[in-house]
Structure 1
């Protein structure tokens, strides 16, 4: 190979190796241009901004504007937006700050003068009837010294009247005592005009039924006791059966400790609840 050919081959090899620098230089140039553009955009020309704002404002204020019914960006046609509010506007702003309640009173509707909806009227009537029922039963308990036999409470589900089994039944029996009739008749007179559902629930302690009992277990005894009271209301007092329901829960819902005599006595009970039909 001649000396000239060797020199040409070396030059071509060197040129091939240096081609990456062209791409690298183009990349660096593009990055420089990108950062220059970003820097230029970060500086806001306030003069040009005001010119553009006023131009848009005058366009919206023209009669042939798209917003025909509008008054432009300002409150009145031709009004410009200024950085510092006028004395009048500032005065109005100060008045609003001094009396912030004036606008809120105008914007907020007066709930006291708003007419009640049908459901609200029904709920108010229901609550008034339940409160009257609670007061009458409480007074009846106090007048007849029945605090240890009858308990009344206002619960979320309704007015709950708890009667001890000693007041209603003989031990292990579901037939009502004669002494319970006046109290049940009093309750029936209160339930007669109520348009609510009355739930009657029988409960026992956890002591198993004796071998000589006429009832199979505590489930049957608790259900029969609730049914006895229901029969009294329906058969003797002639109340509407559509307003009643009953159930027996045996010892599954205790309110006292079944390990003590006092707790077991507390669990042997019948609960009569006037249920709330409407919830707040």
Structure 2
């Protein structure tokens, strides 16, 4: 009697391995999808890559697994903890938008920095030229200019707009300072107190007088000091921008002044 031939075992991997491989592929696709929709923290991303490398051995450059592939190899139950490793896209985008600098805010900060630098430089120059006792230097942080204030009695006699000869050395040194900022907008403003002009045929009122004084300073700085007329403005403010009370002689004396405002390059 002939011996029955033994059947060959089925070729290839066992059937259960195909199912297992499909499951692993689906899990891998699932994580790849999460990565494509999310922004990943760099440190936690490295942990995830290392864990995938330990579990599937598909990331050739992955580092050693953390705790024997703690994120993946522990099973699907770890999915509930995935939020600890992967940040939501919308949350990250919102956080980045919050941290991103506002262009207008940046420009405002740069204006402030430039104004502070100009203030320090001009203060040093007034001390160097020994006119700090005649020229008051202030910074306007809101409008971004440096203000040089010169008392009216220093520059002019009462009721006139011609610059006194003894004031020319002071104005000459002020012009030297302004030359350092020839590219900046410079505004010259004349100011008076609130006492009306009487018996003056040359100036109708305080507005005329304040404007004439500003123009006198403008003429000196352009003609004698060579400053560019296109960067200088002159105007009269009369009594309408006081810095002290007009009810006392001291306050009125402070209000009679010429102000020179130097705007930084970002405030043109």
**TM-score bucket (shorter structure):** 0.5 to 0.7
The normalised TM-score by structure 2 is 0.58
Q: Decide which of 198, 204, 207 is 2:186's aligned counterpart.
A: 198
Note the 1:100-249 alignment, pairs <5 A: 108=96, 124=110, 130-143=115-128, 146-147=131-132, 149-155=134-140, 156-157=142-143, 158-192=145-179, 193-212=181-200, 214-249=202-237
Match for residue 33 of structure 1? none
Return the alpha-carbon distance in structure 2 between the equivalents of residues 209 and 150 of structure 1.
26
1:151 counterpart SS class: strand
Return the alpha-carbon distance in structure 2 between the equivalents of residues 208 and 122 of structure 1.
41
Offset, 1:188: 2.3
Distance 1:138 1:261, change over 3 A: same
Return the alpha-carbon distance in structure 2 between the equivalents of residues 134 and 171 of structure 1.
31
Note the 1:7-46 alignment, pairs <5 A: none
Offset, 1:137: 2.5
CA-to-aligned-CA distance 1:195-252 (integer Å, 9 cap, x gap): 2211111010011223156322211110110001000111111111110111112112
CA-to-aligned-CA distance 1:120-166 (integer Å, 9 cap, x gap): 78984x66654443223212444566555322111122111111112
Return the alpha-carbon distance in structure 2 between the equivalents of residues 188 and 216 of structure 1.
30
Q: Give the gaps of 5 or more residues in structure 1.
A: 1-70, 78-84
2:233 counterpart SS class: strand
| RMSD, matched Cα | 4.1
CA-to-aligned-CA distance 1:78-106 (integer Å, 9 cap, x gap): xxxxxxx9322234334569xx9xx959x
Report which of the two structures shows the higher radius of gyration computed on alpha carbons: 1
Distance 1:140 1:94, change over 3 A: closer
The normalised TM-score by structure 1 is 0.56
User: 1:203·1:251 contact (CA, 8 Å) conserved in 2?
Assistant: yes
Distance 1:225 1:135, change over 3 A: same
Distance 1:94 1:215, change over 3 A: closer
Return the alpha-carbon distance in structure 2 between the equivalents of residues 123 and 235 of structure 1.
36
2:137 counterpart SS class: strand
Match for residue 259 of structure 2? 271
1:75 counterpart SS class: helix
CA-to-aligned-CA distance 1:166-190 (integer Å, 9 cap, x gap): 2211122211123332332333233
Q: Give the gaps of 5 or more residues in structure 2.
A: 1-25, 33-74
Distance 1:251 1:122, change over 3 A: closer
1:163 counterpart SS class: strand
Distance 1:206 1:190, change over 3 A: same
Return the alpha-carbon distance in structure 1 between the equivalents of residues 182 and 125 of structure 2.
18
User: 1:205·1:267 contact (CA, 8 Å) conserved in 2?
Assistant: yes
Distance 1:129 1:190, change over 3 A: farther
CA-to-aligned-CA distance 1:237-269 (integer Å, 9 cap, x gap): 111111011111211221111111111011101
